[in-house]
Amino acid sequence: MAVKMQELKLDIERIGTVSAILTQPDNARACYVLAHGAGTDMRHASMDKIAEGLAGRGIATLRFNFPYMEKRLGRPDQPAVAHAAIRAAVEEAARLCPGLKLVAGGKSFGGRMTSQAQSKAPLPDVKGLAFLGFPLHADKKPSTERAEHLVHVEIPMLFLQGTRDGLADLGLLKPVIAQLGPKATLHEVAGGDHSFAVLKKSGRTNEEALTEVLDTLAAWIDELA
């Protein structure tokens, strides 16, 4: 299987240009628009591993930088700016991967901004949203306000969550997901933290935990209509 990596520039209307990477296996059957977390960029080692792992499972990824990360500013963009970046990335993925099933989401902040964008106006042709650690609340500040917009998302959602995730108390997240009904699916990664890293005493490696995450994500994408 051949995998093509393409460096791109993404134009965000009235905001500017950011970098992007399309990773596309020659047998791709879907494309995942993968947004990075608040403290990392699209080239972070974890993003590389996700893109490579999904390519090996026949799923292309379009990664991109949010404008604040492109400019190396410390503070994440305002939601409206982040939403515009996500819309531009989704449009580019649809253009570059015609005929492929389109899903969107990403790690932490990137996933939450994607669901916010979807809740305000559906992302064109996106069949589902997948969250690689939904950040329900700040560390040690349990609350559910960040999930209130999810009731306005009408497409299927997959929540991949570590059971040790300090940004998502499962005691709070499970009722939120239950209220969303059959459109929302929770997959718990036993012993995983917010980045799915596991403790040595768990008896398995971080690579094994990531394999579980990517296998689950690929199977869920295949089941989408």
Question: 């005493």: which residue's tokens?
Answer: 201
Report the CATH number that the domain containing residue 15 is assigned in CATH.
3.40.50.1820
Mean pLDDT on 203-222 = 97
Q: Which domain holds residue 83?
A: 3-223
- Compute CA distances 18 → 34, 47, 51, 117, whole Å: 14, 17, 18, 18
On the question of pLDDT at 1 being above 90, the answer is no
**How does pLDDT run across 25-51, given as a tens digit for each residue?**
999 999 999 999 999 999 999 999 999
Q: Is residue 137 within 8 Å of 146, Cβ to Cβ?
A: yes
Distance CA 38, CA 107 (A): 9
**How does pLDDT run across 118-163, given as a tens digit for each residue?**
999 999 999 999 999 999 999 999 999 999 999 999 999 999 999 9
Question: Do the strands 3-12 and 16-25 form a parallel or antiparallel pair, or are they unpaired?
Answer: antiparallel
Q: How many domains does the chain have?
A: 1
> If you ran DSSP here, which 8-state letter would residue 149 be given?
G
Q: Is residue 163 within 8 Å of 135, Cβ to Cβ?
A: no
**How does pLDDT run across 71-83, given as a tens digit for each residue?**
999 899 999 999 9
Q: Write down the pLDDT at residue 66.
A: 98
Q: Is residue 221 within 8 Å of 103, Cβ to Cβ?
A: yes
What is the pTM (predicted TM-score) of this model?
A: 0.97
Work out the burial of residue 44: count CB atoms within 10 Å of its CB; fewer than 13 is exposed, 13-18 middle, 19 or more buried.
Answer: middle
> If you ran DSSP here, which 8-state letter would residue 29 be given?
-
The 3-class SS string of 69-83 reads: HHCCCCCCCCHHHHH
Tell me the β-bridge partners of 17: 11
For CA atoms 197, 138, 158, 119, the dihedral sign is negative
